[in-house]
């Protein structure tokens, strides 16, 4: 009985805290037409303290979505446009010699903000991409001999154009694994496209005003951490990740030759965190299997290494994740 009361109390708490989620969603809808999945994914990464990677062809409002979210939250925002000649110091900062003081002074880079938009992250070489690694994982940056903590909340939102395009550098596996979600964005529907044309030719783009603060987001994160995950759900999450490592144990022998490596323990952690945030967005105090299924593609597609055989047969990681989700038993 105590547990049911706790859940009831938690639901009440979530109702109070998740009011700003509705405000954020409404604010995003005012600027971005459609792309419901994209907006939800941005909220999940914001609430579960994870970083997000958006992939799609140019012109699908990836940058606009991130910029709008940053404007809706009253917090520091910076944008880094990645180019082939960018240097690590341009991202994290560097030591500058001051003639007046006769010593080296730290000049902090654009990574010192609550929201960092890494635009076209796959246009810069690996050394620059790796400069973001410490910042993303440790929430700190080392410049010279000193280490500086980054502000809280700290969220890296990166965009990339599909790899096939010219002049791009593929992200290293270690870097990709640090992104909680990878969201592949598709074209809008015909009706949405007409609405986009109408709004743009009339020049009716609304002014974005802040609807929440960084403090409120940190408070909401504490509530998200209280969302109840049952042992059966934990088992389901572990099964999904293990099926990507040892498909033959789950009667998925045909996938063994297609997968080089499966999801890391980070996949399991992020799957649980994202499912919790999704339950919170849906105003629920507990996680159900549908929450896990709703986020599993975004959490897993970039963590599965495809073999040459899979690439030759044009098999995508999305198809592999779908097969795993359809096969693994739901509690």
User: What's the CA angle centered on 283, arms 281 and 286, to 5 degrees?
Assistant: 100
**Structural domain boundaries enclosing 299:** 226-327
Quick check: is 164 in a domain?
A: yes
- Residue 223, C-beta contacts closer than 8 angstroms, at least 6 positions apart: 10, 13, 14, 17, 280
Quick check: is 13 in a domain?
A: no
Where residue 135 sits, what CATH number does that domain have? 3.40.50.300
Q: Which domain-ending residue is among 156, 187, 218?
A: 187
Please state the φ and ψ torsions of residue 139, each to the nearest 5 degrees.
55, 35
| 63/212 Cα distance (integer angstroms) | 20
Q: Are residues 119 and 256 in the same domain?
A: no
Contact 271, 237 (CB under 8 A): yes
Contact 125, 169 (CB under 8 A): yes
| 224/217 Cα distance (integer angstroms) | 10
The pLDDT of residue 2 is 43
Contact 224, 32 (CB under 8 A): no
Q: Are residues 233 and 179 in the same domain?
A: no
The pLDDT of residue 274 is 96
Quick check: is 11 in a domain?
A: no
Q: Are residues 261 and 169 in the same domain?
A: no
Q: Are residues 38 and 173 in the same domain?
A: yes
First to last CA, the chain: 22
Quick check: is 266 in a domain?
A: yes
Which of 145, 125, 126, 147 lies closest to 135, judged by CA?
Answer: 147
The pLDDT of residue 102 is 83
Which of 201, 119, 103 lies closest to 156, judged by CA?
Answer: 119
pTM, whole model, 2 decimals? Answer: 0.89
Quick check: is 183 in a domain?
A: yes
The pLDDT of residue 165 is 67
Quick check: is 148 in a domain?
A: yes
Q: Are residues 39 and 155 in the same domain?
A: yes
Q: Are residues 271 and 131 in the same domain?
A: no
Q: Which domain-ending residue is among 166, 187, 208?
A: 187
Q: Are residues 160 and 243 in the same domain?
A: no
For CA atoms 216, 286, 28, 123, give the dihedral sign.
positive
The pLDDT of residue 273 is 95
- Residue 222, C-beta contacts closer than 8 angstroms, at least 6 positions apart: none
Please state the φ and ψ torsions of residue 244, each to the nearest 5 degrees.
-80, -20
The pLDDT of residue 173 is 81
pLDDT, mean of each 10-residue run, the chain (331 residues): 63 81 87 87 92 88 85 89 92 90 89 92 87 86 90 90 75 86 90 88 81 88 90 94 92 90 92 94 91 95 91 91 91 82
| 17/3 Cα distance (integer angstroms) | 21
Q: Are residues 178 and 244 in the same domain?
A: no
Contact 249, 278 (CB under 8 A): no
Q: Are residues 231 and 304 in the same domain?
A: yes
Where residue 273 sits, what CATH number does that domain have? 1.10.8.80
Q: Which residue has the tokens 């970083």?
A: 51
Q: Are residues 46 and 164 in the same domain?
A: yes
| 1/3 Cα distance (integer angstroms) | 5
Q: How many domains does the chain have?
A: 2
Quick check: is 218 in a domain?
A: no
Q: Are residues 123 and 232 in the same domain?
A: no
Q: Are residues 175 and 40 in the same domain?
A: yes
The pLDDT of residue 243 is 93
Q: Which domain-ending residue is among 139, 163, 187?
A: 187
Quick check: is 10 in a domain?
A: no
């Amino acid at each position: 009985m105590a547990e049911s009361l706790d859940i009831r109390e938690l639901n009440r708490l979530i109702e109070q805290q998740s009011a700003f989620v509705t405000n954020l969603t409404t604010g995003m809808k005012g600027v971005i037409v459609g792309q419901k999945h994209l907006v939800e994914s941005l909220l999940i990464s914001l609430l579960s303290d994870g970083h997000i990677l958006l992939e799609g062809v140019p012109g699908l409002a990836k940058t606009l979505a991130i910029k709008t979210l940053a404007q809706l939250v009253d917090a520091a925002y910076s944008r880094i446009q990645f180019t082939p000649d960018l240097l690590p110091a341009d991202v994290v900062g560097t030591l500058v010699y001051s003639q007046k003081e006769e010593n080296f002074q730290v000049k902090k880079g654009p990574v010192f903000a609550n929201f960092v938009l890494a635009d076209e992250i796959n246009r810069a070489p690996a050394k620059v991409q790796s400069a973001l690694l410490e910042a993303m994982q440790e929430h700190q940056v080392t410049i010279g001999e000193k280490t500086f903590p980054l502000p809280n909340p700290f969220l890296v939102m990166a965009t990339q154009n599909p790899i096939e395009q010219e002049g791009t550098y593929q992200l290293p596996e270690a870097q990709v694994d640090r992104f909680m979600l990878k969201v592949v964005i598709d074209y809008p529907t015909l009706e949405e496209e007409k609405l986009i044309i109408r709004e743009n030719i009339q020049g009716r783009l609304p002014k974005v005003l802040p609807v929440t603060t960084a403090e409120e987001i940190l408070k909401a994160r504490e509530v998200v951490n209280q969302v109840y995950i049952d042992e059966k759900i934990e088992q389901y999450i572990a099964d999904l990740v293990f099926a990507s490592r040892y498909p033959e144990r789950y009667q998925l022998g045909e996938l063994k030759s297609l997968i080089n490596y499966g999801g890391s323990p980070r996949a399991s952690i992020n799957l649980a965190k994202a499912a919790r945030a999704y339950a919170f967005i849906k105003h629920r105090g507990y996680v159900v299997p549908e929450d896990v299924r709703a986020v599993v593609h975004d959490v897993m597609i970039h963590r599965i290494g495809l073999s040459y055989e899979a690439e030759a047969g044009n098999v995508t990681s999305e198809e592999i994740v779908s097969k795993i989700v359809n096969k693994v038993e739901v509690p």
